[in-house]
Amino acid sequence: MPGIFISYRRKDTGGHAGHLAADLISRYGRSNVFMDVDSIPAGVDYGNPIDDALDSCNIAFVLIGDNWVDPVGPEQKRRIDEESDWVRREVASALERPDVTVVPVLVEGAAMPEAADLPAEISSLANIQALSLHNSQWSYDFEELCGTVDHAASDGKLQRFLRQSRSWPKLGSAAVLGLGAVAAAVVLLSGGGTGGASCVNQLIPKDVRKGLSKAAATKAPAVKGTVYFGTCDGESWATARFPHNKDGVFKRTGFTWTRVGSIKAARCLVPSELLTAWKQGGC
């Protein structure tokens, strides 16, 4: 089962965090969801439970609202600039773990902070593709988050196994769909399709998202929804799920991304190593 960590500021996104935690607990079970106010008993030091939860989690959702980095109090100091700030410590700790997918969640249309606006130890958060969470489309956004949870749980187990067997290569954190989140790149060592294929699957970087062709019934490139990017034997692929039940498979030729069809229609074209990672199945 996945381990899910929810990082948030109470006065910023406390209500959304509580709602999200309740729905995640309903789906994955209470023992698999950590949210400080709900998971730490009274009288217990904050440090150890949070560190323990981060040690065992597969994914960390960082809820960001309009006031996540804003200054507070009469002196107008930013909490994020203080080394003792728990949100900063949570994010920094999660980003340090190669087997934890860190996903910024922008609440009610909040803007993603720029790297220059964040302390150096968490500045990479700004390069991670974020998901959205709106009350007006909660069901859709929640399913997107759950899709990321399921993918991260699978990847986390694979990464831990490979690291323990000392065959896991050190891969840099990718700027995601991120999911990534730090998006931890996953080198797939097994799967069908092309024999001996060398495939890498990761959450999609911003520059790749900008290059994707428009999906059916959308007015912009694939910048929202669940999007995964991968390469297999030198060819670049992407899959995307968009609002209103639209999806697509994209293939890059040169510098141009072309939508080759829906996930269902085009799944046979995608190397099975990537299909396995994206959980689309084979033909």
> Is residue 12 scored above 60 in pLDDT?
yes
> Is residue 133 scored above 90 in pLDDT?
yes
pLDDT score of 239? 84
d(C-alpha 50, C-alpha 171), whole Å: 26
Phi first, then psi: give them for residue 241, nearest 5 degrees. -115, 125
pLDDT score of 193? 39
Contact 283, 269 (CB under 8 A): no
Checking 261-265 for CB contacts under 8 A at 24+ apart, the result is 262/216, 263/239
The CATH fold of domain 4-152 = Rossmann fold (3.40.50)
> Is residue 223 scored above 70 in pLDDT?
no
Average pLDDT in the 219-239 region?
A: 76
Q: Which residues pair with 187 in a beta bridge?
A: 200
> Is residue 107 scored above 90 in pLDDT?
yes
Spell out the residues 6+ positions from residue 47 whose beta carbon is closer than 8 angstroms to its own: none
Q: Percentage of the chain surpassing pLDDT 70?
A: 70
Average pLDDT in the 179-193 region?
A: 27
134-177 pLDDT tens trace: 999 998 899 889 888 887 776 554 444 333 333 323 322 222 22
47-92 pLDDT tens trace: 555 666 777 788 999 999 999 988 776 777 898 998 888 899 889 9
- CB burial of residue 138 (10 Å; 0-12, 13-18, 19+): middle
- CB burial of residue 166 (10 Å; 0-12, 13-18, 19+): exposed
Spell out the residues 6+ positions from residue 7 whose beta carbon is closer than 8 angstroms to its own: 60, 61, 62, 63, 87, 90, 91, 94
Place of tokens 């293939």: 251
pLDDT score of 247? 82
Contact 175, 183 (CB under 8 A): yes
Domains of the chain, by residue range, sit at 4-152, 188-278
